[in-house]
Chains A and B, each alone.
Chain A
């Protein structure tokens, strides 16, 4: 068995007629770190909802580690751990109670559940808060609590829906490290995120969904290699007029900032040499946007076109 998740022909039409998923196919291999990206309302959370049985599907098949959710729902659920987008724990219960009860729903005995709760609360820097109620936690702590909760039954697949939304940079990086370690231990991870840098840094494979259609499903390297142009931002000496850089399209944003579009076939060296010839010093340079972000914008745009044409 190679696949942690197999989705075929998945459709979801909500009451009122809104079609959230238009027959998607998706496969996630065991041990993968997989990104499911898409704009708001694209169908990411609906897909996750169907996998975790919180949303009833209209058509299609979903298999979790080979177990069809129509025939072996409880077995399929036992493999899954879910970190939802919205806080959905009891705000009045203590952290320990929340975790130990959650483990109980998966058949984990209380003594073992207490040990696991201690392990994950310590790993996620929440042990000091174990006897506080959920409502006393900060937003970042609540996110970490939901990760700890999803791990209490030691699932083989962890699904995280926007796990770092509203989390500061330092904490986000420590959560990335934690997720990487989990993946190295063999846990398959499916991640949805708005931080495309996060997906690029963590995930090996990626699917992009837009208006209920998968518009891209490939590995991260192949996807990034499709990017045929990047925009580089140069911080330069103060200049009055835009320099002329042959074979490149450039724009002077302000008297210190120059943007240059660089095609995949072009060398950045040529920009430096031409700037040097014009006695313009470069202090620093950076990508204008995340590489994945540029691809995402272009793919989501084309997805919208496809959908409009199919209407």
Chain B
């Protein structure tokens, strides 16, 4: 197909994906706002007030970037995982497979849809945060780049999960047993410098540490890890996951007999 046709096909997939999560907004956009409010009430108001300062900021301000990032990660991942698996299950993924849509357009379309939901939910959660705390912005571009790269990383992860998934249970296993633990251990609620040396070392292999810290740097100007290293890690993850997703779709794993 010509590049113009590819752009139209990409826009069609994006339209379909955004339309899907907007159509069921009560299931996709409202729950993160409620969850984040509970986090603020429990960890911010009740427990946070007893913790005092962390990294030179009051605890509520310290956890805001991590909580926003947690919502972005969860939503960009689950959007693609459930949408692509549902398309496989209903077999409407065949609409794209029989059409002259290049595989990279399919990947980009679904990842774009996941990013759109992740970023939109991130924006909603940020607005909810304003009810509890004054948010300061240290570097808007770091925030924009980090949230974009993070949502792309986890949207790709959700796509790979959906390609392998054989049932709806399979798309909840990774979020439950891998994503949630990594997120909670990724420095959302604490600075990893508080950990013993051994666990600080272990945290270095958790990619979410880099995402949360880069994001926190954008808001507060503080980070437990180097910003350059964070972007390098994010870039490496995106390239690797994109290559895996492309290989799987090209080979037709889980899609073609």
Taking CB as reference atom, which chain B residue is nearest A133? B23
Supposing A49-B257, A56-B256 touch, asked if A77 and B91 sit within 8 A by C-beta, the answer is: no
CA A93 to CA B94, docked complex, whole Å: 15
CA A92 to CA B19, docked complex, whole Å: 11
Quick one: CB contact mask for B2-44 with A, threshold 8 Å, 1 for yes? 1011101101110110010001000000000000000000000
Interface SS majority for chain A: loop
B95 contacts which of A78, A105, A107 (Cβ < 8 Å)? A105
Closest beta carbon of chain B to A163's beta carbon, Å: 16
CA A73 to CA B97, docked complex, whole Å: 11
Interface SS majority for chain B: helix
Supposing A56-B256, A74-B102 touch, asked if A107 and B2 sit within 8 A by C-beta, the answer is: yes
B196 within 8 A of A: no
A269 within 8 A of B: no
CA A109 to CA B2, docked complex, whole Å: 13
**Contact present for A54 and B9 (CB under 8 Å):** no
Closest beta carbon of chain B to A103's beta carbon, Å: 8
Closest beta carbon of chain B to A60's beta carbon, Å: 16
**Contact present for A53 and B6 (CB under 8 Å):** no
B127 within 8 A of A: no
Contact residues in A for B6 (Cβ distance below 8 Å): 107
B136 within 8 A of A: no
CA A178 to CA B151, docked complex, whole Å: 47
**Contact present for B1 and A107 (CB under 8 Å):** yes
**Contact present for A54 and B97 (CB under 8 Å):** yes
Taking CB as reference atom, which chain B residue is nearest A52? B98
Quick one: CB contact mask for A228-262 with B, threshold 8 Å, 1 for yes? 00000000000000000000000000000000000
Supposing A52-B98, A77-B98, A77-B100 touch, asked if A105 and B92 sit within 8 A by C-beta, the answer is: no
Taking CB as reference atom, which chain B residue is nearest A84? B94
**Contact present for B1 and A74 (CB under 8 Å):** yes
Contact residues in A for B166 (Cβ distance below 8 Å): none
**Contact present for B257 and A55 (CB under 8 Å):** yes
CA A46 to CA B87, docked complex, whole Å: 21
Which chain B residues numbered 87 to 110 have a C-beta less than 8 Å away from chain A? 87, 90-92, 94-102
Residue of B4, B23, B94, B97 with highest tally of chain A CB at under 10 A: B94
**Contact present for A54 and B98 (CB under 8 Å):** yes
B252 within 8 A of A: yes
**Contact present for B90 and A88 (CB under 8 Å):** yes
A281 within 8 A of B: no
Supposing A74-B100, A75-B100, A107-B6 touch, asked if A54 and B1 sit within 8 A by C-beta, the answer is: no
A90 within 8 A of B: yes
CA A8 to CA B188, docked complex, whole Å: 60
**Contact present for A78 and B1 (CB under 8 Å):** yes
Taking CB as reference atom, which chain B residue is nearest A51? B98
A3 within 8 A of B: no
Closest beta carbon of chain B to A201's beta carbon, Å: 27
Supposing A74-B100, A101-B15, A104-B8 touch, asked if A89 and B95 sit within 8 A by C-beta, the answer is: yes
Supposing A74-B100, A88-B90, A97-B19 touch, asked if A104 and B12 sit within 8 A by C-beta, the answer is: yes
Taking CB as reference atom, which chain A residue is nearest B87? A90
Supposing A74-B1, A97-B19 touch, asked if A54 and B94 sit within 8 A by C-beta, the answer is: yes
Contact residues in A for B256 (Cβ distance below 8 Å): 53-56
Closest beta carbon of chain A to B3's beta carbon, Å: 10
Closest beta carbon of chain B to A13's beta carbon, Å: 11
Contact residues in A for B96 (Cβ distance below 8 Å): 105
B98 contacts which of A14, A53, A108 (Cβ < 8 Å)? A53
Taking CB as reference atom, which chain B residue is nearest A55? B257
CA A108 to CA B23, docked complex, whole Å: 24
CA A101 to CA B92, docked complex, whole Å: 11
**Contact present for B91 and A88 (CB under 8 Å):** yes
Taking CB as reference atom, which chain B residue is nearest A91? B90
**Contact present for B90 and A105 (CB under 8 Å):** no
**Contact present for A86 and B91 (CB under 8 Å):** yes
Closest beta carbon of chain B to A89's beta carbon, Å: 5
A206 within 8 A of B: no
Contact residues in A for B8 (Cβ distance below 8 Å): 104, 107-109
**Contact present for B95 and A88 (CB under 8 Å):** yes
Closest beta carbon of chain A to B192's beta carbon, Å: 43
**Contact present for B9 and A104 (CB under 8 Å):** yes
Supposing A74-B102, A90-B87, A91-B90 touch, asked if A53 and B97 sit within 8 A by C-beta, the answer is: yes
CA A91 to CA B98, docked complex, whole Å: 19
Going nearest first, the 8 A-B pairs with the smallest beta carbon separation are A107-B5, A104-B12, A105-B99, A88-B91, A74-B100, A77-B100, A90-B92, A78-B100
14 cross-chain CB contacts under 8 A: A53-B256, A54-B94, A54-B256, A55-B257, A74-B101, A78-B100, A86-B91, A88-B91, A88-B94, A91-B90, A101-B95, A104-B13, A105-B100, A107-B9
A93-B16, A108-B8, A149-B95 given; name 12 further pairs at CB < 8 Å: A74-B1, A74-B101, A88-B95, A89-B92, A90-B92, A93-B19, A101-B12, A104-B9, A104-B12, A105-B13, A106-B5, A107-B2
